[in-house]
């Protein structure tokens, strides 16, 4: 009987110890998440920004913040509007470390001149839009791969234990049908979308070469581009910086499910 009592006491004590330790174990398991990249990472287009983020325009409605909130993650939010690969390497990697468990990044659009292409297509002719997109595609094929390789290698070195998810860009436009934007022809919309496909091919190839996961939002955004009946991407906007970026629905209904599926 004495042996039985001692065994029961020992079992109860062990159970209590595990129960007391459970919150600590849960806290240790919380993702240590660092969000890097450009305006599509920071949440531009959502029209709501953290006051202390300044010109980086980091939003509580960005996919990074939404995922962190939903998963109890400790988020280091370094993404910044306007960032190129050089900016990521110079300014955003300090938050990474051996204890980082998740990194997300979308970058490359500014390296190939995203904002200039959109401006040329809105204000110019079909031919000038085609030329602008073609120039961006050439940059994407010739210059961007090396820049991405360097950026991804730096991330891997700084956060060797992290899962890294590279998020691409959606096709921006509803390619056919009526559009209330003067001069924004079907030819222009289709040409911009074709450029997005080229960019996706470059980014996905380099992400996979680095051993990272590529999360492609194009399919989930189809039918929700500029000039669609259910826009998840802003058309020309005031302030101008909101233009041709996902709106709040684009981040919550488009990017967030894309990221969640990629993380697994």
Catalytic residues: 39, 245
Strands 102-106 and 32-37: parallel
Displacement of CA 164 from its chain's centroid (Å): 11
Q: How many Å apart are CA 192 and CA 78, to the nearest integer?
A: 28
Give 11's contacts (C-beta < 8 A, 6+ positions apart): none
Pairing of β 213-215 and β 102-106:
unpaired
Q: Which two tokens stand for residue 262?
A: 């990629």
Q: Prior bond to 246 cis, omega within 30?
A: no
**Three-state DSSP class for residue 217:** coil
Measured CA to CA, the distance from residue 154 to residue 84 in angstroms comes to 14
By CB neighbour count within 10 A (0-12 exposed, 13-18 middle, 19+ buried), where does 55 fall?
A: exposed
Tell which phi-psi region holds residue 43, choosing left (phi > 0), alpha (psi between -120 and 50) or beta.
left
């Amino acid at each position: 009987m004495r042996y039985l009592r001692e065994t029961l006491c020992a079992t109860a004590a062990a159970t209590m110890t595990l129960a007391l330790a459970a919150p600590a174990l849960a806290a240790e398991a919380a993702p240590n998440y660092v969000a890097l990249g450009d305006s599509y990472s920071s949440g531009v287009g959502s029209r709501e920004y953290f006051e202390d983020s300044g010109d980086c325009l980091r939003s509580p409605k960005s996919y990074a913040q939404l995922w962190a909130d939903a998963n109890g993650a400790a988020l280091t939010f370094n993404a910044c509007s306007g960032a190129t690969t050089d900016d990521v390497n110079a300014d955003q990697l300090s938050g990474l470390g051996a204890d980082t468990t998740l990194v997300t990044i979308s970058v490359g659009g500014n390296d190939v001149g995203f904002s200039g292409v959109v401006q040329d297509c809105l204000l110019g002719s079909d031919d000038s839009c085609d030329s602008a997109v073609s120039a961006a595609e050439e940059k994407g094929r010739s210059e961007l791969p090396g820049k991405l390789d360097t950026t991804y290698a730096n991330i891997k070195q700084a956060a060797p234990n992290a899962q890294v998810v590279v998020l691409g860009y959606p096709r921006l436009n509803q390619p056919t049908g009526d559009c209330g934007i003067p001069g924004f022809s079907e030819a222009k919309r289709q040409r911009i979308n074709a450029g997005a496909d080229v960019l996706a091919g470059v980014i996905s190839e380099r992400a996979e070469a680095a051993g990272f996961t590529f999360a492609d939002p194009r399919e989930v955004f189809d039918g929700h581009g500029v000039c669609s009946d259910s826009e998840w991407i802003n058309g020309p906007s005031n302030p101008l910086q909101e233009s041709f970026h996902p709106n709040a629905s684009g981040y919550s209904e488009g990017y967030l499910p894309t990221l969640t599926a990629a993380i697994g």
